[in-house]
Structure 1
């Protein structure tokens, strides 16, 4: 059964040209810690350590694998740089865009209402696994795929910086991480990721990339499901790794959305480096049986490093009003998802 992704909350933005101009105003720096005290409404702190606790890291990886009998998880990679967020924490993120009420809960509700909902989800996840600190995040679509080619023929639109600045300021209010997400259309990661360098150079800002909207020539986004090969993904990894080294940052996280086989090809060739922590995010919607099947096929059986799981408040409940996976169910998955995204 195939996930139906081109309706409802995944409608592409068709934004008026008036929004194109970018505001180069200075952004606020967001510094996020990695301990249990770092949660919504707690003070912003920087707890970056100069030394990675490798014993604890290995213990947390083992816990994440949930005693995988097939030995696919945990994935053996080089240790991350000090200050790594994973696997020492779980992240719970709200996803969306401020120009649309249909692309996600971030944009659907007023700020304070959205904050309250996010706070509830963070508390639910903390209760499901009390020993693992939960960090809130705002996952913002900074480059949106478009049905029309636009003046440059790239089928994508970059959000104005003043809008991203708004998300940065909101995140600071609740001590949240920020993810900036890219839907490239007919552009490339090599062209789009550097446009966000002033944000990605900050320690609390991370990257998401969406293969669904990475299209081949002649095909508009939304007409079929797009794809990234490992070599495309490695472009983003190389860029982030260099940014970390240049700015003496803790590791960046890279979220890669996936819900079909073809969305990510040659997964074994995806680089794992100390500067970047890779999260393969199960991005399909549907009932629990379908989502579990998608997880097993494209996340569990094709391990890269860490795993994420996306929950659609509306689309996951189309067949069953009680169809949303709950935290206490998902912490039993192999591997445990350490990045949770709500749309």
Structure 2
């Protein structure tokens, strides 16, 4: 049984966002905000030392959770640079868009209530796994696959700088919060879309997510079928992020890739790992627990890349019996144990 996400309601919500296209706004502002003045930018590579490798190896072995197949922990990987979040912390995020209550908890609730709900999840995880500190975050859909073509005919709705700035402001309500900007490229592509959010990726606390489901390389309209990325696409993005980390002397970037079918990510063994980038293959499917576990087993555990994630859908996971959400206690039994947890 395939795990397919409900896309019709999503497209209705997306269509309502068409007034927020911001291509021109982004072009006007991309030059105004940088992390450092150009004269102060450090160009040398790998200024940060590697992490404590013994501690890293011990945590990765723990995350493998007794796996004896040789798949986990991943072998022949570069150690991340100092300042890396993973695997030293577990990232817990709320996902969504501020202009749609149907796209996730981030946007469904007012900021104060959203934080109250998210912090309850954080406390649950801290109780279940007190040995792993939680890194809290917000995962914002900064480019939304749209139900309408838009001015450029790419069926993509780019959130304006004001919208992204609002998310960064909400993140500041709780100290040390990180932010993910997520791209649904539709009929566009990653090379064209990354520059629209580059000034934000220059910030040390902003990271990246991409959604193959809405990467329509064959020209199909988003939501009509499931899209795809190849290892070459992922390697382009990780190289882009690595260059930024080196240029601005940033801590490693966390790079989340959503996945719930095999075809969503092709040639995964060819994905390149880099000290400057931490890749999370994120189980993004919804359904009953057995279905979600099967998806994780086949497409996340079965095709090792680096780190793993798992999504909980507050509504869609309850559509079919048994009507319950999977718990942190259950997720801690997975092989490997996910270090990125997303609630939608």
TM-score by length of 2: 0.90
Does the Cα contact within 8 Å between 2:50 and 2:79 map onto a contact in 1? no
Residue 159 of structure 2 corresponds to residue 153 of structure 1: no
Equivalent-residue separation in structure 1 for 2:328 and 2:198 (angstroms): 34
Does the Cα contact within 8 Å between 2:17 and 2:99 map onto a contact in 1? no
Deviates more, 1:6-15 or 1:267-276: 6-15
**Equivalent runs, 1:1-343 vs 2, <5 Å:** 1-7=1-7, 10-11=10-11, 13-15=14-16, 18-21=19-22, 22=25, 24=29, 50=49, 52-76=51-75, 77-175=77-175, 176-320=177-321, 322-343=323-344
- Deviation digits for residues 208-242 of structure 1 (CA, Å, limit 9, x no counterpart): 00000000243100000000011111111110000
Quote how far apart the aligned CAs of 1:153 are: 1.5
Does the Cα contact within 8 Å between 2:288 and 2:322 map onto a contact in 1? no
Question: CA 1:342 to 1:16, structure 2 compared with 1: closer, same or farther past 3 Å?
Answer: closer
Equivalent-residue separation in structure 2 for 1:150 and 1:184 (angstroms): 13
Equivalent-residue separation in structure 1 for 2:242 and 2:184 (angstroms): 21
Equivalent-residue separation in structure 1 for 2:221 and 2:265 (angstroms): 19
- Deviation digits for residues 252-274 of structure 1 (CA, Å, limit 9, x no counterpart): 01000000010000000111010
Partner of 2:41: none
- Deviation digits for residues 33-73 of structure 1 (CA, Å, limit 9, x no counterpart): xxxxxxxxxxxxxxx98552111011110111101111100
Question: CA 1:148 to 1:325, structure 2 compared with 1: closer, same or farther past 3 Å?
Answer: same
Question: CA 1:98 to 1:248, structure 2 compared with 1: closer, same or farther past 3 Å?
Answer: same
Quote how far apart the aligned CAs of 1:9 are: 6.4
Q: CA RMSD in A?
A: 1.9
SS of 1:13's partner is helix
Equivalent-residue separation in structure 1 for 2:14 and 2:82 (angstroms): 38
Question: CA 1:149 to 1:244, structure 2 compared with 1: closer, same or farther past 3 Å?
Answer: same
Pairs aligned (count): 325
